[in-house]
Chain A
């Protein structure tokens, strides 16, 4: 799409080189050709990234000869934002340190939030448990054994009130990682705030809401793709009108990567999902500049340091180009890809878990060098269980050391102009554009997802990766090299007992008994009519929440109109 041909010396990053330099390079090449590659552990993958992108031993001006300084790099804070979305980046403002947290019941999680805020965390990020994410109440048969395990259980607005007890929702920003029931969680948040006297227009935060990646990777869906996207567009429309500080969708590659994708797949499928929402909202008749400034992204930071930095830089450039050239956005804020980053859970190992602290530090640094707007650093023990308070503290301190001690924040895009990083950034963009072309052949991303295309690509990549580990081509310290055979696990893992599940089940039953049943019924009936018709569902969801309908009841009402999605299984 953005053709690359050799450009002249004045505008190019790679200048024409002198005969003296050319001679030096030829000498190096001769030596390099004679030098045998390293043997032994992990030597099978010296010539490629973790995503199998081929690597040369040395990069030079010839590798960036096609890069035009003005067209491809520009300056920070200006189109195409390759070097960052703000003119001075972390010099003027550090990224937001935002640790994702949630477990057990709302009261326990509220205590963790107060702890994190007291330790210098700058924003909240809610992890919900599986039943909440799938639209089941804690006493549903499907919830058995899952309540409070992967996050906090939220059944009704009563739980949401407890979750934010003692926290000023007008002063803090909150990110909520929820997709299928995202609109319901937003309604609960609005009602919680308004009950405390904070109007919805003052609320700041982000909903993940990205449902397309659920079908692709994370598998926490409720309805089929099309009605889900309709509810998302309703939410975008509602927030545009009533919640100027709210970010409607956090288009997420994190889970795509965790499911085993390559870096380029993460980049391509995530951006394609984002463009699908842009297209859906435009099809509704919304102006792109009206909603696009409040779309944000969420990427994984994996262990292949330079590949990740290249991925982040490429993401900004691709997004800016498509938003301006393809979707006709005119507001520069619509061109800016803002993103949250989380270090790669799938790079953490159960063996020698302390090593994960080191992995997280490298991954966090890649995110900072890639220009992230906010960051979650994983805790060392998350591969074993929910993180303990101690390990969460280390993870947060890792960010603080990075931000305040290493000085990587002092210069904007410090790797910009690196022959290697620029070449790899361009390669990431090229691979993403190749995927966009394949997706277009399906008729668009929703169609590609329905056909299982990204799902297949990811499963193949994940199997290839696992095979390369098995073959010893790649080394994972503590797993297939440098093992400690007699290792025992740390004894102080955080576990959520059955009493939480029982207590939460009793609590939601108590909620159902203590409210005005007729008000619940009529609000749910009105919601069903809205779902079946054309009306925006948000006000109806807010009414249901005000009547203290539970999440499970609201979801059931919507399922009665939209149906539940079932996946065609493939491996």
Chain B
């Protein structure tokens, strides 16, 4: 699945859980799938604040952040991460997410700067392809 001009250092992705949401099945499956696809994955664990998530991404020099929310708090927490990325000058980090997120909310979040929202049933292969493509572009741009 990797492209021919793949970077030497593997892509690095943060898989994050925010707020009080303990549903971590999806986040863990995605983390493993991205790792099995050859990426370096850092799973933040539960109950992170948007600040903590963005800090971790910057400290780890991550190419992407995947945020998982199944508690219904997505319209609050996703925009806060976008805001933090802007504030920290880290908008180049590919920010995507998933969870039980209704279609119209997902569209609104994409308008606000979330690159992609994956909802229940999204194939792992689709998520991997997206992350490889978008984070790969980011890596090329940032170097």
Contact = CB atoms under 8 A, between A and B. Distances in A.
Contacts of B19: 130, 142, 144-146
A258 B121 contact: no
Interface in B21-58: 21-25, 27-29, 31-33, 41, 43-47
Given A219-B24, A571-B31, A146 B120 contact: no
B72 interface: yes
B119 A350 contact: yes
A297 B59 CA distance: 45
Interface in A124-147: 130-131, 133-134, 136, 142-146
Contacts of B43: 569, 571
Contacts of B21: 130, 146
Contact of B121 (A131, A218, A351, A495): A351
Interface in A225-257: none
A378 to B, nearest CB: 13
A131 to B, nearest CB: 6
Nearest to A259: B25
B102 A146 contact: no
Contact of A146 (B15, B23, B32, B73): B73
A349 interface: yes
B100 A144 contact: no
B71 A149 contact: yes
A214 B76 CA distance: 25
A496 B72 contact: yes
Contacts of A571: 15, 27-28, 31-32, 41, 43
Residue from the set A131, A259, A476 with the largest chain B CB neighbour count within 10 Å: A259
Contacts of B100: 350, 383-385
Contacts of B33: 463, 466
Interface string A296-335: 0000000000000000000000000000000000000000
Contacts of A144: 19, 73, 76-77
User: Chain A, interface size: which category?
Assistant: 35 or more
A470 interface: yes
B71 A350 contact: no
Contacts of B77: 144-145
Contacts of A150: 71-72
B6 interface: no
Contacts of B23: 219
A479 B28 contact: no
Interface string B106-119: 00000000000001
A220 interface: yes
Nearest to A214: B22
Given A146-B72, A146-B73, A351-B121, A463 B32 contact: yes
B25 A146 contact: no
B103 interface: yes
A281 interface: no
A489 B101 CA distance: 11
A387 interface: no
A495 B101 CA distance: 11
Interface string B92-108: 00000000101110000
Contact of A488 (B20, B72, B103, B120): B103
Contact of B28 (A133, A146, A462): A462
A231 to B, nearest CB: 19
Contacts of A386: 72
Given A130-B21, A150-B72, A571-B43, 9 more contacts: A130-B19, A142-B20, A145-B19, A145-B77, A350-B119, A385-B102, A489-B102, A569-B44, A571-B41
25 contacts: A142-B19, A145-B19, A145-B75, A146-B20, A146-B71, A146-B76, A149-B71, A219-B22, A220-B22, A350-B120, A350-B121, A384-B102, A385-B102, A386-B72, A459-B28, A463-B32, A466-B124, A478-B121, A479-B121, A480-B123, A489-B104, A493-B102, A567-B46, A571-B27, A571-B43
The 3 closest A-B pairs by CB, nearest first: A145-B76, A219-B22, A149-B72
